[in-house]
Each structure stands twice: as structure tokens, then as C-alpha cells.
Amino acid sequence: MGERIRVQASEINLGLSYPPHVFYAGESARRLAFIEHAFDRSKISSFPVGPEPQALVEDVMRFKLEVGLKTVPEGFVGAIVVADTQTVIPKVENGKIEMVSRGKPKNLQELFDSLLGMKHMSGLTGESPFYQVDSASGLIHLNGRQVQVEDRQSCLVVLRKKKLEELATERGFLDYLQIFTRFYSQPPYSTHNMKPITPTDLSGGLSLPVLTKMGIVQSVSGVDVMEAQFRDILKHNVHLVAVGISPRILESVQVDSKKMIYGWDWLNEVVDHALS
């Protein structure tokens, strides 16, 4: 399909033409709904990528792009869009704190163990518990040549120590699961053709909007929940953890990608629900 050029999204605004057809490599209903919003003038197709490698978030993203290149038909003109997110949780191992990358938990016990790990780390250091979500996204534009744009984002979530200690109990964990179920089975999910999900469907099993709604979140990306700009920061980071497609990779084909993202009805409804 011609010469392949790979750049970081921060390096250059390529000003590529608007893709007539967009392929999404993945099965996330949230990402597909966002792609349909972001490329509302394009034909949208999606396909599963199969088993993903146990690797760094950037490598998984590139794996998905390679699957996309092998899947699109010969002579395809348009774009392939992918994203991957991983949750990184502190864990105390032999008296030392290690950052452990978590994908989707295999079961609820694995999620509970992560909460206990954050509680243990906080008790050992005296610091507030925290976790981080890393996202990598990529876009390959195919129109006689291959231009591959990539970006990486991170979200640091600091939790209230006392609240996390309550969460890491049998009763507190049950409360989280009940609120999680209500949150993801009601609007805006139920009104956007998204099936109900469980914690095992999310990276790390941790829901930023649910934790916010429960009053467990202390700050996101350095902005405290009591600060005036918290809603905007929460919106940016809910998009990061739920979709993970960076506004910077979209700038190669969109005039104002941030305005498009922050104007997405679904995103605004999720944030409003989290803060209500």
C-alpha cells in the first residue's frame, strides 16, 4: 500500500484528508460509539482482533494496527483506528513497592486483591492510595501511502485513604459492585446501545466515574475534586479510561478534535452522572 510513515502525534499536524471509511480494530462498544461520533461522515466498520499479547500498552496498540492492516481489503482508502488501556496498581512485594500492570481482571477476587494492595501500600508509606491508567492509540491513514500516527496518555487517580480502607472490606466491596451495576445498566449506557458491563470488562476492574460517584476519588491528574476545573479534568480522563483514543491522533484529520470530543453527549452524560 505504499510507503509507510510513522510519527508521534505531538511531532506534526499532518492535515490528512477526511477518511471516507474507518475501520475500528476491536470490540469495545464505547470505542465504537465514539468513532461513530468522531467520524460521522465516514462509513464505519469494526472487527475483532483476537487474543491480544501480554505486553506494554504501546505494543498492544501496534499489534491491533497490524491486525487492521491485514484485515482491510486490498486498495482500501480510509483509516484504521485502535486504542488500548492498561491499569497500573502499586503492590507491596517483599517490602518494596512495585507498579503492576493490570488488564481486565479474571475474576472479582483479583480486583479485590488490587484494592488490598493499594491499601497495604498506603498503610506502609502513609501516602494516599492511587492507581494509574495508561492509554495508547493509533491511526493509520491509507490513501496511496501509509501514515501512522501514535500517542500515549496517562491518568493518575488519587483516592481518599479512609474511603479506600472502607472499600477494601467485604461490605465496601459489595457496595462498589452494587453501585457499579446500577451505573452501567442505566442511562447513559442503556440509551446508547451499550450492553451492561461488569468490573471484569474494565481494565483493572476500576471505574473512575463510579469511584467518583462514591466520593472515593480525591484528585485526578493533580486536580482536587473541590477545584473549579475538576469537571473538565474528569471529562478528559473519563474519555481516556473509557475510550483511550487521543485527541492528538485525531488532529491529523479533524480541525478541532478536543471540541468534538468534549461535545460528545455520551461523555457529558457519564460525567454528569458521576458528579450527581
Model confidence pLDDT, tens digit, residues 12-30: 556 678 999 999 999 998 9
Joined together, the cell numbers standing for residue 208 give 473512575
Q: Which residues contact 94 (CB under 8 A, 6 or more apart)?
A: none
Secondary structure letter of residue 189 according to DSSP: T
Let me know if 16 is exposed, middle or buried by CB neighbors in 10 A (0-12, 13-18, 19+): middle
Please give the DSSP secondary-structure letter assigned to residue 228. Answer: T
27-28-30 Cα angle (round to 5): 150
Structural domains of the chain sorted by starting position, each given as residue range(s) with its CATH number in brackets: 4-275 (3.90.950.10)
pLDDT at 1: 47
Residue ranges of alpha helices (H) inside 75-229 are 108-125, 161-167, 170-185, 208-213
Cα–Cα dist 257/185, whole Å: 29
User: Smallest Cα–Cα separation from 150: which of 133, 163, 135?
Assistant: 135
**CA 262 distance to own-chain centroid:** 15
Radius of gyration, CA atoms only, the chain: 19
Tens-place pLDDT, residues 24-74 = 999 998 999 999 999 999 999 999 998 989 899 999 999 999 999 999 998
Q: What's the pLDDT score for residue 179?
A: 97
Looking at residue 251, its pLDDT comes to 87
∠ CA(86), CA(232), CA(251), 5° rounding?
70
pLDDT in tens, the chain (276 residues): 456 676 676 655 566 789 999 999 999 989 999 999 999 999 999 999 989 898 999 999 999 999 999 999 989 999 999 999 999 998 877 778 888 888 889 999 999 999 999 999 999 889 999 999 999 999 999 987 889 999 999 999 999 999 999 999 999 999 999 999 999 998 888 777 777 889 999 999 999 999 999 999 999 999 999 999 999 999 999 999 999 999 999 988 876 898 999 999 999 999 999 999
What pTM was estimated for this model as a whole? Answer: 0.91
* pLDDT recorded at residue 133: 97
Dist CA 275 CA 233 (whole Å): 12
Q: Which three cell numbers stand for residue 134?
A: 495508561
DSSP annotation of 156 reads E
